[in-house]
Amino acid sequence: MLHLPELDASVSCEFRDLPEPLRLPGCVPIPGPDILMPLQDKANPCYRWMVHHGGKYRDADAILVNSFDAVEPGPAKILRQPAADHRPVVYPIGPLIHADGRKDEKDALCLEWLDRQPARSVMFVSFGSGGALPTEEMRELALGLELSGQRFLWVVRSPSDEGAVNDNYYDAESKKDPFAYLPEGFVDRVTATGVGLVVPSWAPQTKVLAHAATGGFLTHCGWNSVLESLVYGVPMVAWPLFAEQRQNAVMLSDGVGAALRVPESSKGREEIAATVREVMQGEGKGAAVRAKVAELQKAAAEGLRDGGAAATALAEVVEGWTTTGGQEEED
């Protein structure tokens, strides 16, 4: 957002049409189609709104971000360097996640099933509170999970009516039976073999990610989900849908190496199965992802402890507010 007004002035075409990836200071190169969705149509009023507010970011004295240095080392380093132009101080105070203390019948269904599975053996599949896939992708995902031979827990929703990915929460909560769109016999097969649990609409995500049986997370790459996965040390399969999720997926897969991404050009069952297997059991890229996530989990925990990076950053913010407040009272 800090660079958006400059990009608006310097990039004449649509971002999706850029011949080369976009290179921002400290960031992994971002292919044009992966730039966040609201910026993909310059004729859309939302684009002008974002450019306007991107310029306003420089009016702030400081910006607090729910992130931590280890997951975004390049940007963190750049944002700490002195700048000739007015740039607000950026304080990473994360990873802050919501701990779900609610109890629900669906909790018991998911958690009791997980209790019967071996450690780190289950791929959790969820696209957030509003993610819905096109019908064909939904069916290929089902067959890919089955073909992978890995255990899985899938939160399934009815496909989007438009035949494309959907970010509308109310559509995702449709009264249509999502199981009716799955391949014939799929639910019966995975239930009978015990290899999978398919639940409609919702699951206690933080509890599932925290469970010892969970060994992978096929995610839409919403930032809250990413942070939860890292806090609980769960490597990811990246399947972004909308908003800023494609940028997050690029950072996770091409940047820090905490995820493998399902190929955008071919989301068939074979590619899905291969990616899931690699993250769960692979000795090459999958092993590297698992090791990196374990490293990031440790860094996240260290940052949140007393005297850690997040606490130190917050203390600096409070000290600045206190000092500024005192000076204003004297004036």
Q: What is the block-wise mean pLDDT of the chain (331 residues), using blocks of 10 residues?
A: 92 96 94 94 96 92 94 90 77 91 80 98 95 95 98 95 53 72 98 97 96 99 98 98 96 98 91 98 98 99 94 90 64 52
Query: For residue 311, is it within any domain?
Result: no
**129, 29: one domain:** no
Straight-line distance from the first to the last Cα atom of the chain, in angstroms, rounded to the nearest whole number: 34
State the DSSP code for 39: G
**115, 76: one domain:** no
Query: For residue 52, is it within any domain?
Result: yes
Q: Minimal CA–CA distance to 86: which of 64, 56, 65, 66?
A: 56
pLDDT for 168 equals 52
- Among residues 32, 60, 92, the one where a domain terminates is 92
pLDDT for 320 equals 85
**288, 144: one domain:** yes
Query: For residue 183, is it within any domain?
Result: yes
- Among residues 70, 92, 114, the one where a domain terminates is 92
**126, 63: one domain:** no
**59, 112: one domain:** no
Query: For residue 313, is it within any domain?
Result: no
**64, 157: one domain:** no
**187, 84: one domain:** no
User: Judging by DSSP bridges, how do beta strands 62-65 and 122-126 pair with one another?
Assistant: unpaired
Query: For residue 82, is it within any domain?
Result: yes
Query: For residue 305, is it within any domain?
Result: no
The residue written with tokens 């018991």 in the block is 108
Query: For residue 324, is it within any domain?
Result: no
- For residue 251, give the CATH number of its domain: 3.40.50.2000
- Among residues 47, 62, 92, the one where a domain terminates is 92
pLDDT for 166 equals 54
**147, 281: one domain:** yes
**14, 109: one domain:** no
**76, 206: one domain:** no
Query: For residue 188, is it within any domain?
Result: yes
Number of domains observed in the structure of the chain: 2
Model pTM score: 0.92
Q: Which domain holds residue 77?
A: 4-92
**210, 83: one domain:** no
**81, 172: one domain:** no
> Any idea what the Cα angle at residue 189 is, between residues 116 and 108, rounded to 5°?
35
103: exposed, middle or buried (Cβ count in 10 Å: 0-12, 13-18, 19+): exposed
